[in-house]
Amino acid sequence: MSGERILSVDQLTMRFGGIVAVQDLSFAADRRKITALIGPNGAGKTTVFNCITGFYKPTGGAIRLTHDDGKEIALERLNDFRIAKQAKVARTFQNIRLFPGMTVLENLMVAQHNMLMRASGFTFLGLIGAPNYRSAEAQAIDLATDWLKRVSLLDRADDAAGNLAYGDQRRLEIARAMCTGPALLCLDEPAAGLNARESAALSELLLSIRNDLGTSILLIEHDMSVVMEISDHIVVMDHGVKIAQGTPREVRDDPKVIAAYLGADEEEAMAVMESGS
Partner 1 sequence: MTALSHEITQTSRAAGIPFILKRAFFNALVALVLFSLMVGVRTEAGPDGQLTYWPRFVELASLVGIVFGGSVVIELLRQWIGPSGAERLVPPALHSGLSFLGRYLAPALLIFTLLVPVIFYDQRYILDLAILVLTYVMLGWGLNVVVGLAGLLDLGYVAFYAVGAYSYALLATNFGWSFWICLPLAGILAAFWGVLLGFPVLRLRGDYLAIVTLAFGEIIRLVLINWQSLTGGPNGVPGIPRPTLFGIPLTNTDDGLAALLGIEFSPTHRIVFLFYLILALALLTNWVTIRLRRLPIGRAWEALREDEVACRALGINTTTTKLTAFATGAMFGGFAGAFFATRQGFISPESFTFQESALVLAIVVLGGMGSQLGVALAALTMIGGFELFRGLETYRMLVFGWAMVLIMIWRPRGLIGHRAPTVYLKKSQAISSDLVKEGHG
Counting Cα atoms < 13 Å in the Cβ hemisphere of 99 gives 12
At 9 the three-state DSSP class reads strand
Q: How far is the CB of 248 from partner 1 (least distance, A)?
A: 28
223 secondary structure, DSSP code: -
Q: How far is the CB of 77 from partner 1 (least distance, A)?
A: 16
Dist. CA 174–CA 182, nearest whole Å? 11
Q: Write the DSSP string, 29-61.
A: EETTSEEEEE-STTSSHHHHHHHHTTSS--SEE
**Which residue, 58 or 248, has its beta carbon nearer to partner 1?**
58
Q: How far is the CB of 147 from partner 1 (least distance, A)?
A: 12
Footprint of partner 1 (CB under 8 A): 53-55, 80-85, 90-91, 93, 97-103, 105-106, 109-114, 116-117, 120, 123, 126-127, 133, 137, 141, 145, 154, 157-160, 162-163, 176-177, 180
**Which residue, 173 or 254, has its beta carbon nearer to partner 1?**
173
**Which residue, 188 or 238, has its beta carbon nearer to partner 1?**
188
**Which residue, 140 or 228, has its beta carbon nearer to partner 1?**
140
**Which residue, 1 or 138, has its beta carbon nearer to partner 1?**
138
Q: How far is the CB of 268 from partner 1 (least distance, A)?
A: 28
Q: What order do you get walking across the sheet with 216-220 strand by strand?
A: 89-91, 184-188, 216-220, 34-38, 233-238, 241-246
Nearest to 76 by CA among 90, 65, 67: 65
